[in-house]
Amino acid sequence: MTARIVSIGTAVPPTKIPQEQIRDLFASQPRIDRLARRRIHAVFDAASIECRHTVLTELAAPDAPREDDDLVFVDASGTLLSPPTGARNALYTRFAPDLSADAARRALTDAAVPASAITHVVTVSCTGFFAPGPDYRLVRDLGLATTVERYHLGFIGCAAALPALRLAARITHSQPGAVVLVVCAELCTLHVRSSTDPQQIVASSVFADGAAAAIVTAETDVGRPGGLDLVRFGTALTGEGEKDMVWTIGDHGFEMVLSAEVPRIIGREIRGAVERFIGDDVMPEVWAVHPGGRSVLDRVETGLELPGEALDASRSVLRDFGNMSSATILFILRAMLGDDSIGDGARIAGLAFGPGLTVESALLTKRATRVAGGAEVLAVRPVSA
């Protein structure tokens, strides 16, 4: 039997910041010279992002009252501070579990799957660590059986949701009765910093916070019918890029290296990677591409010679939420589940990119529910973030 995504639930923190507001905050920092200020404006304005969400309420309102024990990233004058990695990770431990559980509850509700049906949990994150970790907390917070098997994919970066879905599909293949909860939660803004470095400016211009959860099973009588069939997966390393997309742990947060070569490498190698993955099949009709940034989407579109509207769902998620690392591709797939223009049997190609430079691929088929009278309705309705 083929594994399928029954539903996808998403969640974002309540603090929403317009792109121009966060741009002006970074541009106004004390050690930012004129050249860096011009670069910040150019990079933020070219990102094709309108707003992002963050767990750091002070980024939106630096002068708002705070509790005495709040960990401060921005002082009352609007100056970005530099808390140590431990303080940043403490916030991850505080906020990530609730965001993960929120997305998971939405996925369970939309799938019409009770928490008691979950047999496996797969969690994904690259923006924080703690133990017992997010997988443990989901068991406790959702009231899952204490015998649920748990797996965590950590520090894989933006591409990690597809390997997580691949793992879920493998589990359902080996244990046909399995119902797998996959949860990606990323708090990227915990690692913001003021910098004149072009790579740090690019990272600050796109990354955001969010979580997404998927229910995966091969059982046709579990949850709502239809969804997204997980047909097959692929992974590839590009011939270069090992030093161009790097995610390391520093003394003042996790440090992202995101060089200008990344979009160019993707543009050069994406066609070969996709053709090897698709093989003799006809190219899919629908594309779900991780929006690492606007330039990445532009390079994929050009490299694959896609029509202008092919990446509309990816661009829409980038515009409304920014780059939420691993969770982002699930936001895109959720939008496609609720898109009436994508009919039953439509094939969807999923692409995501991670450090290495790694290209992760997935081929999915959308399945809809047929009801009395032959009418076709969507198997899964979108859940508001």
Residues with active-site annotation: 158
8 A C-beta contact, residue 379 and residue 337: yes
Which distant-in-sequence residues (6+ apart) come within 8 Å of 116 by Cβ?
A: 143, 144, 145
Backbone Cα Rg of the chain:
20
Would you give the distance in Å from CA 376 to the centre of its chain? 30
SS3 for the chain is: CCCEEEEEEEECCCEEEEHHHHHHHHHCCCCCCHHHHHHHHHHHHCCCCCEEEECCHHHHCCCCCCCCCCCCCECCCCCECCCCHHHHHHHHHHHHHHHHHHHHHHHHHHHCCCHHHCCEEEEEECCCCCCCCHHHHHHHHHCCCCCCEEEEEECCHHHCHHHHHHHHHHHHHHCCCCEEEEEEEEEHHHHCCCCCCHHHHHHHHHECEEEEEEEEECCCCCCCCCEEEEEEEEEEECCCCCCCEEEEEECCEEEEEECCHHHHHHHHHHHHHHHHHHCCCCCCCEEEECCCCHHHHHHHHHHCCCCCCCCHHHHHHHHHHCECHHHHHHHHHHHHHCCCCCCCCCEEEEEEEECCCEEEEEEEEEECEECHHHCEECCCCCCCC
